[in-house]
Amino acid sequence: MLKKILSGLFIVFTIVVPVFAQNDGVTPVGANTAQDLYAPSVAGRGGFTTSQGGAPASALNPAAEGEAQRIIFDIGYLGLPGFGDEGGYGFGSLNLGAIFPTKYAVFGGSMRFLRSPFDSFPVETVFHTNLNAAKEIYPGMSLGLGLNGGYNTGNTWTLSGDLGFRYNMGTIGPLENFTLAATARSLGKSWIPPMFTPAAGMAFDFFRIR
């Protein structure tokens, strides 16, 4: 039953939501890199479609935690200092999130508050929430759905959906944890990231210290 529901929601998001997608013709500078402020764990290594690590990873790819076996809580803060001609200190980003594995799927959510006073990073003030569900449909292969909402001082309210896919294929030759992933994010009215942001990636462990 859950697989039928997920399949149906995938079709709805894919066909219906893009029809109403809009961004008021405005995309702030830094909208595609603001995701690196989603959490300290993302800022250090960067956020990718193949990433895992709780609620912040699920906000980037709703299928990220389809294999999760434990509850994970996440809270973090990142300051935003000014460089060059723009001195001072911006509020930065405050985030809170969690994922909850169940026998049906892995459910999660997160919220974050982001503020930048700098002209070089004019994302302005953003409050963003994310709900997601992921299901492992085959060993190592997960599908996910996400729903985003929020408010910002750039184009007021936002509401969009995310689709996600992640497949850890295991070891292929000398490459361990060979992973493929793809997402279609912001299917709707969005500010960060911009409307309809597809992404795909590949990751693997080439060196592994045992």
Mean pLDDT of the chain: 82
| Number of other CB atoms surrounding residue 149 within 10 Å | 16
Binned at pLDDT 50, 70 and 90, residue 26 comes out as low
Cα 120 to Cα 48, 80, 85, 143, 156: the distances in Å are: 23, 12, 10, 36, 21
What does the alpha-carbon distance between residue 111 and residue 119 come to, in Å, rounded to a whole number?
24
pTM of full prediction above 0.85: no
What are the domain boundaries of the chain? 2-205
Binned at pLDDT 50, 70 and 90, residue 29 comes out as low
